[in-house]
Amino acid sequence: MNTFKNTLEKNCDENYSPELLSKLAEKMPLTEDNILLNLLVEAVAVIPLNTIEFGRLSITGLRYLLSYTHEEEPLFATPEYEVFRYGAILAAKQVSNEAYNTLMEQLPNLEQIRQENPVQIKNKIIDDHQKVAKELEPLVKLIDFRRIKGQILVNIIEPLGITPIEIILNVYRYNTLSFNSDLNDTRGNYVYDESACGSKLIIEDNGKVVCAPNNLTDWQSVSVKVALGNKDVFEWDVIIEKCCTSAAVGVCASENFNYETWAGYQATGWVLSSQGSSVNSNVWLGNYCPSFGDGTKITVHLDMNKRTCAFTVNGTKYPEVLAWNNLPSKLYPVVSLKYPGRFRIQPHKK
């Protein structure tokens, strides 16, 4: 089972986990203790749904994925609108080619929405929309519409007529009453990856905390499981519960990255050090921000549309690091620490 898990983790971009999940979900019950299905779910969860071709993941497989990630908080790579989009188009595909083609036109992906802001969609009546709604019904209960921006709900989702109006109204009520909701647009948590971790670092609290033992006198690094790319904007918080000399927070690429040493020394590591310097390839650019220590909250702002990175430190946002103009198309959140370092990672709370 460990070999199977390691294979999925190392090959999540190229394996057949969506197909395997689809086949097994048809034959196995939705139970919490089904280890094989749960491993497949975790493997599919870190793949953005909009990169999985329609036909690879069945509605039953998608339902299991959403059911598992709805109750648990594993790492999940897909924003909630893209979850709805994928499920709705998949449901339409079960009804007719015409319904499928119509929804492909009516449901742009998030990248298209950002390019066409404000959102302007020519609403077109969906033939058999009631049949599409019926196919979509088991999935709708597992989608958190509160995570979808109000403009998208009003201009794109509600006019389709395939989502129960009471669900839409409940979200409108929630948005009205919640002046400053801290819900992110993507479910799940950032968690540190034991397979992408320095040999002496200790991962705790279900992957949310990494700490260095007292015999770790040289820096080691650890990254998060999910790859960030796909022309999106990502934000996460790192809480420095215990600082250390040259603590570092930032991003890395998986290619030629050595987790047994400090990320900032490496060509594929881009980090903010606790001295207040931005560092890459051991090139230190000082005076980015004041130095920081125990209790510091750092927010990383990674814009994969522009391939830029910026940081907020203790509530003060600093500009993009201009020297980092060579960021690759796929990056991972990373931290570097030694004793007595202890860092916690979490989705960004605005």
289-314, pLDDT tens digit by residue? 999 999 999 999 999 889 999 999 99
The pLDDT value given to residue 73: 64
210 and 144 within one domain: no
196 and 163 within one domain: no
Q: Tens of pLDDT along 228-238?
A: 876 778 899 99
User: For the chain, how long is the longest CA-to-CA vector?
Assistant: 66
Q: Omega before 290 cis (within 30°)?
A: no
The pLDDT value given to residue 10: 47
Nearest to 185 by CA among 323, 84, 56, 71: 84
Q: Is pLDDT above 80 for 115?
A: no
Q: Is pLDDT above 70 for 156?
A: yes
CATH code at position 244: 2.60.120.920
* Residue 334 structural domain: 192-347
- Residue 140: pLDDT band with limits 50, 70, 90: very high
Q: Is residue 276 domain-resident?
A: yes
Q: Is pLDDT above 50 for 12?
A: no
Cα(314)–Cα(317) distance, rounded to whole angstroms?
Answer: 8
Q: Is residue 149 domain-resident?
A: yes
Please count the structural domains in the chain: 2
Q: Is residue 41 domain-resident?
A: yes
Q: Is residue 272 domain-resident?
A: yes
Q: Is pLDDT above 90 for 348?
A: no
Burial class (CB in 10 A: 0-12, 13-18, 19+), 172: middle
154 and 6 within one domain: yes
The pLDDT value given to residue 80: 93
- C-beta neighbour count of 241 within 10 angstroms: 15
Give the pTM: 0.68
304 and 268 within one domain: yes
88 and 9 within one domain: yes
Tell me the pairing of strands 308-313 and 296-303.
Answer: antiparallel
Q: Is residue 274 domain-resident?
A: yes
In this structure, which amino acid lies at residue 348?
A: H
Cα(264)–Cα(100) distance, rounded to whole angstroms?
Answer: 47
Average pLDDT over residues 205-210: 93
143 and 55 within one domain: yes
Q: Is residue 91 domain-resident?
A: yes
95 and 124 within one domain: yes
158 and 95 within one domain: yes
The pLDDT value given to residue 277: 97
